Amino acid sequence: MQVSAADIYQDWLDATGEIIMSGDMSDLPRHVALPYLHKSPDMRVLIETPEDLRQGHESYATALRANGVKELVRLVAHAEFLGENHIQGYHTIYPLRNGKLSLPRFKSRIVLQRHGTDWKQAEVETVLRHSDWPISLLRVDEDRALPRGPNEPDARSGPVEPLAIYQSFLDRLSQANMANDVKSYAALCHLPLTSHTRVDDTVFETEESLGAVVACIHEYMVENGIDEFRRDAEDATFLSATQLCGYHVARFFSKGEERLEPIRSRMILERKGRDWRVRSVTNSIRNANFPKTKPVAVSDLITHREIQKRTKQWPNSL
């Protein structure tokens, strides 16, 4: 007999609730897929690393205990399958002490993703108010409703895997670069587009400003005799009904041989209708003033959460 979405969801809530209240987060990665999108009324944050995952939930558990919470009861209200590999559920959280509410009850929504025989958290939205990660202060508006989702089909309910969507998008972007075609490149971008490196951040608001990026990459290829530029997708996951996060490596070839240092990147794509467009890109380069200067590659990629710390007043790319 097939297990219902509600039963799977409730089992997941029970298992992770015990982990949170125990204070030992070592088993939490078994139940959470990285990266995932965490949304509250005051912020959106992309959790990418095990360290950020651990710190966030340890801080949450500490805040619960500081408010006298001894037991965390989370009860499913509704859950449904979004295709074969995703479940979306809604639940209510009851923070209890001696059987009575220590904090007001509040609602959350979680999307679970199938990983083999396991189900892991892939998105969470809560009415719990907090403006930073890790969560250090709990503010609860009792019975505050969760916001309505986008009035578009959920990408997770379709048959196409996110990695295939991402690679197809990257191929079109690379073709625009090879053709030095600003219009085609700009058609794949959501404006304003935020661009980030190890050392600085840029907002592109017009097609004309994107032309500087296309020109910089083209000049870089010409100067180094590059006849093939490609982006190879490494990983991709749906962040929400209309968003995707992908990681890739950009490679430069001359006569079939790789000539330049590869550049690792992360892109956040958003779907409008049938089209996917990039709204945020982070590149593993260390030079300032890109694209006014040629890229200098480094091995590590700054996390999106680190970027948010230094660009708090910027357009939210999530």
At position 94, the amino acid (one-letter code) is Y
What was the pLDDT predicted at 78?
A: 96
Other beta carbons within 10 angstroms of residue 217's beta carbon come to: 23
Where do the domains of the chain lie? 5-148, 162-310
What was the pLDDT predicted at 146?
A: 86
- pLDDT tens per residue across all 318 residues of the chain: 689 999 999 999 999 999 999 999 999 999 999 999 999 988 899 999 999 999 999 999 999 999 999 999 999 999 999 999 999 999 999 999 999 999 999 999 999 999 999 999 999 999 998 878 888 788 887 767 887 776 778 999 999 999 999 999 999 999 999 999 999 999 999 999 999 999 999 999 999 999 999 999 999 999 999 999 999 999 999 999 999 999 999 999 999 999 999 999 999 999 988 999 999 999 999 988 888 888 899 989 999 999 988 887 665 677
For the chain, how far is it from start to end, CA to CA, in angstroms? 39
**Residues 65 and 139: beta-carbon distance below 8 Å:** no
User: Which numeric CATH code is attached to 5-148?
Assistant: 3.10.450.50
Token digits of residue 200: 């600085």
**Residues 85 and 114: beta-carbon distance below 8 Å:** yes
What was the pLDDT predicted at 315?
A: 59
Fold of 162-310: Nuclear Transport Factor 2; Chain: A, (3.10.450)
Could you tell me the pTM of the whole model? Answer: 0.94
Please indicate whether the domains covering 5-148 and 162-310 agree at the CATH topology level: yes
Q: How far apart are CA 122 and CA 239, in angstroms?
A: 7
Question: What does the DSSP 8-state code read for residue 254?
Answer: E
Give me the phi and psi of 280, to 5 degrees please: -155, 135
**Hey, what long-range contacts does 45-48 have (CB within 8 A, 24 or more apart)?**
45/133, 45/304, 45/305, 45/308, 45/318, 46/239, 46/245, 46/268, 46/303, 46/304, 46/305, 46/318, 47/133, 47/305, 48/303, 48/304, 48/305
| Positive or negative torsion for Cα 244, 245, 247, 251 | positive
Contacts of 167 (CB under 8 A, 6+ apart): 232, 233, 236
Residue 256: strand, helix, or coil? coil
Q: How far apart are CA 292 and CA 212, in angstroms?
A: 7
